[in-house]
Amino acid sequence: MSFHHLIQFIQWSLRALHYRHRLLRSILNRSVRASALPHAVLKT
C-alpha cells in the first residue's frame, strides 16, 4: 500500500465514521424523543 492510498483510506474511514456518528445520533435523538413522550403522558 502506497502512502497516497493510505491517506485516501484514512480520509474515507474518517468520513464513514463521521457519517455513522451522525446517523447514530439522529437515531438516539429519535428514540429519546419517542421514550420521552410516554413519560410525559405517564407523569400527568
Residues 7-31 have pLDDT tens digits of: 999 999 999 999 999 999 999 999 8
Cell readout for 12 is 474515507
Q: Give the confidence band of 44 by pLDDT, cuts at 50, 70, 90.
A: low
Specify the higher pLDDT residue, 40 or 10: 10
pTM: 0.52
Instruction: Find the farthest-apart pair of alpha carbons in the chain and give their distance in angstroms, rounded.
Output: 63
Binning the chain into helix, strand and coil, the percentages to the nearest 5 are 95, 0, 5
- At residue 32, the pLDDT reads 85
- Does position 5 have pLDDT exceeding 90, yes or no? yes
